[in-house]
Structure 1
Amino acid sequence: MDTENALLNALIGAIATAVLSFTGVSPLLGGALAGYLNEDDGLRVGAISGAIASIPVVGLLLLVLVLLPFLGLFGFLLEVGIAAGGVVVFGAIVVIGGVAYTVVLSALGGLIGVYAKEEL
Protein backbone atom coordinates (compact mmCIF):
# COMPACT_ATOMS: atom_id res chain seq x y z
CA MET A 1 0.00 0.00 0.00
CA ASP A 2 1.27 3.45 -0.86
CA THR A 3 1.53 5.50 2.33
CA GLU A 4 1.00 8.83 0.58
CA ASN A 5 -2.29 7.66 -0.90
CA ALA A 6 -3.40 6.28 2.47
CA LEU A 7 -2.70 9.59 4.18
CA LEU A 8 -4.42 11.52 1.40
CA ASN A 9 -7.45 9.23 1.61
CA ALA A 10 -7.49 9.62 5.40
CA LEU A 11 -7.37 13.40 5.01
CA ILE A 12 -10.26 13.29 2.54
CA GLY A 13 -12.20 11.15 5.03
CA ALA A 14 -11.45 13.62 7.83
CA ILE A 15 -12.70 16.51 5.69
CA ALA A 16 -15.86 14.53 4.95
CA THR A 17 -16.27 13.94 8.69
CA ALA A 18 -16.08 17.69 9.32
CA VAL A 19 -18.45 18.56 6.47
CA LEU A 20 -20.99 15.96 7.57
CA SER A 21 -20.72 16.87 11.25
CA PHE A 22 -24.41 17.84 11.36
CA THR A 23 -25.22 14.12 11.20
CA GLY A 24 -24.69 12.00 14.27
CA VAL A 25 -22.55 9.48 12.47
CA SER A 26 -20.17 11.68 10.52
CA PRO A 27 -17.06 9.75 11.66
CA LEU A 28 -18.61 6.57 10.28
CA LEU A 29 -19.32 8.24 6.95
CA GLY A 30 -15.89 9.88 6.72
CA GLY A 31 -14.15 6.61 7.58
CA ALA A 32 -16.25 4.77 5.01
CA LEU A 33 -15.20 7.26 2.34
CA ALA A 34 -11.54 6.88 3.31
CA GLY A 35 -11.80 3.08 3.24
CA TYR A 36 -13.64 3.13 -0.07
CA LEU A 37 -10.97 5.32 -1.65
CA ASN A 38 -8.11 3.30 -0.18
CA GLU A 39 -9.51 -0.10 -1.28
CA ASP A 40 -7.53 -2.09 1.32
CA ASP A 41 -6.64 -1.84 5.00
CA GLY A 42 -9.78 0.14 5.74
CA LEU A 43 -9.41 -0.24 9.49
CA ARG A 44 -6.09 1.59 9.52
CA VAL A 45 -7.00 4.35 7.08
CA GLY A 46 -10.34 4.88 8.84
CA ALA A 47 -8.64 5.18 12.23
CA ILE A 48 -6.13 7.66 10.81
CA SER A 49 -9.03 9.62 9.34
CA GLY A 50 -10.73 9.72 12.74
CA ALA A 51 -7.53 10.85 14.45
CA ILE A 52 -7.10 13.67 11.94
CA ALA A 53 -10.75 14.68 12.35
CA SER A 54 -10.31 14.77 16.15
CA ILE A 55 -7.55 17.39 16.11
CA PRO A 56 -9.86 20.46 15.92
CA VAL A 57 -12.20 19.06 18.57
CA VAL A 58 -9.36 18.38 20.99
CA GLY A 59 -7.91 21.83 20.35
CA LEU A 60 -11.24 23.52 20.98
CA LEU A 61 -11.92 21.58 24.18
CA LEU A 62 -8.43 22.24 25.51
CA LEU A 63 -8.89 25.93 24.75
CA VAL A 64 -12.14 25.92 26.72
CA LEU A 65 -10.39 24.22 29.65
CA VAL A 66 -7.67 26.88 29.60
CA LEU A 67 -10.15 29.75 29.41
CA LEU A 68 -12.60 28.31 31.96
CA PRO A 69 -10.78 29.67 35.04
CA PHE A 70 -11.02 33.21 33.66
CA LEU A 71 -14.80 33.04 33.27
CA GLY A 72 -17.23 33.78 36.06
CA LEU A 73 -18.67 30.27 35.95
CA PHE A 74 -15.51 28.74 37.34
CA GLY A 75 -15.69 30.77 40.55
CA PHE A 76 -19.31 29.74 40.97
CA LEU A 77 -18.37 26.09 40.56
CA LEU A 78 -15.69 26.42 43.24
CA GLU A 79 -18.22 27.99 45.62
CA VAL A 80 -20.64 25.16 45.01
CA GLY A 81 -17.99 22.66 45.98
CA ILE A 82 -16.66 21.28 42.73
CA ALA A 83 -12.87 21.36 42.96
CA ALA A 84 -10.73 22.58 40.07
CA GLY A 85 -9.16 19.14 39.80
CA GLY A 86 -12.57 17.59 39.28
CA VAL A 87 -13.33 19.99 36.44
CA VAL A 88 -10.02 19.14 34.77
CA VAL A 89 -10.54 15.40 35.21
CA PHE A 90 -14.06 15.66 33.82
CA GLY A 91 -12.77 17.67 30.87
CA ALA A 92 -10.06 15.10 30.20
CA ILE A 93 -12.63 12.30 30.25
CA VAL A 94 -14.80 14.21 27.77
CA VAL A 95 -11.84 14.81 25.44
CA ILE A 96 -10.64 11.20 25.56
CA GLY A 97 -14.19 9.92 25.08
CA GLY A 98 -14.76 12.20 22.09
CA VAL A 99 -11.52 11.11 20.45
CA ALA A 100 -12.27 7.44 21.10
CA TYR A 101 -15.78 7.84 19.65
CA THR A 102 -14.42 9.48 16.51
CA VAL A 103 -11.52 7.07 15.95
CA VAL A 104 -13.55 3.90 16.59
CA LEU A 105 -16.45 4.96 14.38
CA SER A 106 -14.06 6.04 11.62
CA ALA A 107 -12.22 2.72 11.77
CA LEU A 108 -15.53 0.85 11.55
CA GLY A 109 -16.51 3.08 8.64
CA GLY A 110 -13.21 2.24 6.95
CA LEU A 111 -14.06 -1.45 7.16
CA ILE A 112 -17.51 -0.78 5.72
CA GLY A 113 -16.00 1.31 2.92
CA VAL A 114 -13.60 -1.48 1.90
CA TYR A 115 -16.44 -4.00 2.04
CA ALA A 116 -18.61 -1.78 -0.16
CA LYS A 117 -15.80 -1.34 -2.68
CA GLU A 118 -15.22 -5.09 -2.92
CA GLU A 119 -18.86 -6.16 -3.03
CA LEU A 120 -20.43 -3.44 -5.15
Structure 2
Amino acid sequence: MTDNTYLNALIGAVTTLLLSFTGISPVLGGAVAGYLEGGETSDGLRVGAISGAMASLPAFGILLLVLFLVPVAPEPGAVIGGGLVALLIIALVFAYTMALSAIGGVIGAYVNREL
Protein backbone atom coordinates (compact mmCIF):
# COMPACT_ATOMS: atom_id res chain seq x y z
CA MET A 1 0.00 0.00 0.00
CA THR A 2 1.22 3.47 -0.83
CA ASP A 3 0.20 6.94 0.22
CA ASN A 4 0.28 8.15 -3.38
CA THR A 5 -3.32 8.44 -4.57
CA TYR A 6 -2.37 8.70 -8.24
CA LEU A 7 -0.15 5.61 -8.10
CA ASN A 8 -2.97 3.65 -6.47
CA ALA A 9 -5.36 4.93 -9.17
CA LEU A 10 -2.89 3.93 -11.89
CA ILE A 11 -2.61 0.41 -10.44
CA GLY A 12 -6.42 0.23 -10.41
CA ALA A 13 -6.60 1.46 -14.02
CA VAL A 14 -4.10 -1.17 -15.17
CA THR A 15 -6.13 -3.79 -13.30
CA THR A 16 -9.24 -2.56 -15.11
CA LEU A 17 -7.55 -2.92 -18.48
CA LEU A 18 -6.07 -6.34 -17.71
CA LEU A 19 -9.43 -7.68 -16.51
CA SER A 20 -11.46 -6.07 -19.29
CA PHE A 21 -12.66 -9.50 -20.45
CA THR A 22 -14.72 -9.92 -17.26
CA GLY A 23 -17.37 -7.25 -17.86
CA ILE A 24 -17.05 -5.91 -14.33
CA SER A 25 -13.45 -4.82 -14.69
CA PRO A 26 -14.12 -1.18 -13.69
CA VAL A 27 -15.52 -2.37 -10.36
CA LEU A 28 -12.55 -4.69 -9.83
CA GLY A 29 -10.01 -2.04 -10.77
CA GLY A 30 -11.69 0.51 -8.54
CA ALA A 31 -11.76 -2.01 -5.69
CA VAL A 32 -8.02 -2.60 -6.04
CA ALA A 33 -7.36 1.15 -6.03
CA GLY A 34 -9.69 1.69 -3.06
CA TYR A 35 -8.10 -1.16 -1.12
CA LEU A 36 -4.62 0.20 -1.73
CA GLU A 37 -5.72 3.71 -0.76
CA GLY A 38 -7.44 2.59 2.45
CA GLY A 39 -8.95 5.24 4.69
CA GLU A 40 -12.56 6.33 4.59
CA THR A 41 -15.12 5.52 1.94
CA SER A 42 -14.74 9.04 0.53
CA ASP A 43 -11.05 8.27 -0.11
CA GLY A 44 -12.05 5.08 -1.91
CA LEU A 45 -14.65 6.96 -3.93
CA ARG A 46 -12.09 9.55 -5.01
CA VAL A 47 -9.33 7.11 -5.95
CA GLY A 48 -11.83 4.83 -7.71
CA ALA A 49 -13.12 7.71 -9.83
CA ILE A 50 -9.57 8.75 -10.72
CA SER A 51 -8.80 5.14 -11.62
CA GLY A 52 -11.85 5.03 -13.88
CA ALA A 53 -10.81 8.23 -15.60
CA MET A 54 -7.33 6.81 -16.21
CA ALA A 55 -8.77 3.54 -17.51
CA SER A 56 -11.01 5.47 -19.93
CA LEU A 57 -8.08 7.08 -21.74
CA PRO A 58 -7.41 4.11 -24.06
CA ALA A 59 -11.09 4.04 -25.06
CA PHE A 60 -10.90 7.75 -25.86
CA GLY A 61 -7.84 7.17 -27.99
CA ILE A 62 -9.40 4.33 -29.94
CA LEU A 63 -12.65 6.20 -30.55
CA LEU A 64 -10.84 9.35 -31.64
CA LEU A 65 -8.60 7.32 -33.92
CA VAL A 66 -11.65 5.72 -35.53
CA LEU A 67 -13.28 9.13 -35.87
CA PHE A 68 -10.29 10.57 -37.74
CA LEU A 69 -9.57 7.50 -39.85
CA VAL A 70 -13.12 6.95 -41.06
CA PRO A 71 -13.50 8.47 -44.50
CA VAL A 72 -15.30 11.78 -44.45
CA ALA A 73 -18.74 11.74 -46.03
CA PRO A 74 -19.39 14.30 -48.76
CA GLU A 75 -22.30 15.83 -46.86
CA PRO A 76 -21.51 18.14 -43.93
CA GLY A 77 -24.56 16.94 -42.01
CA ALA A 78 -23.28 13.38 -42.02
CA VAL A 79 -19.87 14.49 -40.75
CA ILE A 80 -21.38 16.60 -37.96
CA GLY A 81 -23.82 13.84 -37.02
CA GLY A 82 -21.06 11.22 -36.97
CA GLY A 83 -18.90 13.47 -34.83
CA LEU A 84 -21.71 14.06 -32.36
CA VAL A 85 -22.40 10.32 -32.13
CA ALA A 86 -18.69 9.66 -31.49
CA LEU A 87 -18.62 12.31 -28.75
CA LEU A 88 -21.74 10.80 -27.17
CA ILE A 89 -20.13 7.36 -27.17
CA ILE A 90 -16.98 8.78 -25.58
CA ALA A 91 -19.02 10.50 -22.86
CA LEU A 92 -20.98 7.31 -22.11
CA VAL A 93 -17.83 5.17 -21.89
CA PHE A 94 -16.26 7.73 -19.57
CA ALA A 95 -19.34 7.93 -17.31
CA TYR A 96 -19.78 4.14 -17.21
CA THR A 97 -16.15 3.46 -16.34
CA MET A 98 -15.85 6.25 -13.78
CA ALA A 99 -19.10 5.38 -12.00
CA LEU A 100 -18.35 1.68 -11.70
CA SER A 101 -14.75 2.35 -10.66
CA ALA A 102 -15.95 4.75 -7.96
CA ILE A 103 -18.32 2.08 -6.63
CA GLY A 104 -15.43 -0.39 -6.64
CA GLY A 105 -13.25 2.13 -4.81
CA VAL A 106 -15.83 2.42 -2.03
CA ILE A 107 -15.98 -1.38 -1.77
CA GLY A 108 -12.18 -1.66 -1.69
CA ALA A 109 -11.82 0.99 1.02
CA TYR A 110 -14.51 -0.74 3.07
CA VAL A 111 -12.79 -4.12 2.76
CA ASN A 112 -9.44 -2.59 3.72
CA ARG A 113 -10.94 -0.95 6.78
CA GLU A 114 -12.83 -4.05 7.93
CA LEU A 115 -10.06 -6.61 7.38
- Give SS of 1:69's match: coil
User: What stretches of structure 1 of length at least 5 have no aligned partner?
Assistant: none
In structure 2, the partner of 1:113 is 108
Distance 2:113 2:38 in 1: 8
* Offset, 1:83: 1.7
State the 4+ residue runs in structure 1 displaced beyond 2 angstroms: none
The yes-or-no answer on 1:12 pairing with 2:14 is no
Larger radius of gyration: 1
- Give SS of 2:21's match: coil
In structure 1, the partner of 2:21 is 22
- Give SS of 2:23's match: coil
Computed over aligned residues only, the root mean square deviation of the Cα atoms, in angstroms, reads 1.7
Q: TM-score, normalised by structure 1?
A: 0.85
* Per-residue CA distance 1:59-89 (angstroms, 9 max, x = gap): 110010001126xxx57xx6xxx72211111
Q: Between Structure 1 and Structure 2, how many residues are aligned?
A: 110
Identity %: 55
- Give SS of 1:11's match: helix
- Give SS of 1:83's match: helix
Q: TM-score, normalised by structure 2?
A: 0.88
